[in-house]
Structure formats: structure tokens, C-alpha cells
């Protein structure tokens, strides 16, 4: 009986560790899977531009990686906002 309880406890601990690895290792995709944006508008030193978003990714801090029309842009989230239409 005691061996079975220890075995169940070990399995539970392994499952918790695996879940924590998925949560921290996936760029927060578990939490923000519902965010859909079609366009990004940026303003760099008075130069305003818009990009249509094909694919995007956010990083720790304020960096955004935007793929638009075959090109990849690394932008600051402090100078841009994203629109979901």
C-alpha cells in the first residue's frame, strides 16, 4: 500500500513538472492563444506606417516580430499598436 502511494505521488510530481515546463517554455502561448491581429500601426520619430500582419510573435519585454508580405520585422511594442479587425 505504501509503495503505491509513493508511486502515485511521484507520478503526480512528474506531471506537475511537465506542465510547468510547457507553461514557461512556450512563449506564453498557453495563455494568449486568443489574440488575433490583422494590422500593426507604428510611429517611429514622426514616421507613421502600417503593416498587414501575416504572422506575429511577442517576446519578453517589448519586442514584436511581425511577418508581413514575406518580410520579417522586429519592432518595439512601445511605438506600435496592433489592430484586430
Query: Are 39 and 24 part of one and the same domain?
Result: no
Residues 48 and 64 in one domain: yes
Residue 62's domain comprises 35-85
pLDDT at 34: 57
Q: Are residues 22 and 39 in the same domain?
A: no
Residues 52 and 76 in one domain: yes
Q: What is the pLDDT of residues 22-39, one digit of tens each?
A: 766 554 555 555 578 899
Residues 59 and 76 in one domain: yes
Choice between 67 and 25, residue whose per-residue pLDDT is larger: 67
Q: How far apart are CA 24 and CA 29, in angstroms?
A: 9
For residues 35-54, give the mean pLDDT.
91
Residue 59 has pLDDT above 80, yes or no: yes
Asked if pLDDT for residue 13 goes beyond 80, the answer is yes
Q: What is the mean pLDDT of residues 62-72?
A: 92
User: Hey, is 49 helix, strand or coil?
Assistant: strand
**pTM to 2 decimals?**
0.57
Is 51 in a helix, a strand, or coil?
strand
Q: What is the mean pLDDT of residues 5-15?
A: 89
**Overall domain count for the chain:** 2
Sheet of strand 47-52: strand arrangement: 47-52, 39-44, 80-83
Q: Are residue 45 and residue 23 in the same domain, yes or no?
A: no
The mean of the pLDDT values for the chain is 83
Amino acid at each position: 500500500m505504501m509503495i503505491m502511494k509513493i508511486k502515485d505521488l511521484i507520478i503526480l510530481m512528474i506531471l506537475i513538472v511537465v506542465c510547468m515546463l510547457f507553461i514557461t517554455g512556450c512563449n506564453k502561448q498557453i495563455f494568449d492563444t486568443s489574440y488575433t491581429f490583422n494590422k500593426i500601426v507604428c510611429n517611429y520619430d514622426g514616421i507613421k506606417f502600417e503593416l498587414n500582419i501575416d504572422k506575429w510573435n511577442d517576446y519578453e519585454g517589448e519586442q514584436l516580430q511581425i511577418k508581413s508580405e514575406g518580410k520579417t520585422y522586429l519592432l518595439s511594442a512601445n511605438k506600435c499598436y496592433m489592430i484586430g479587425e
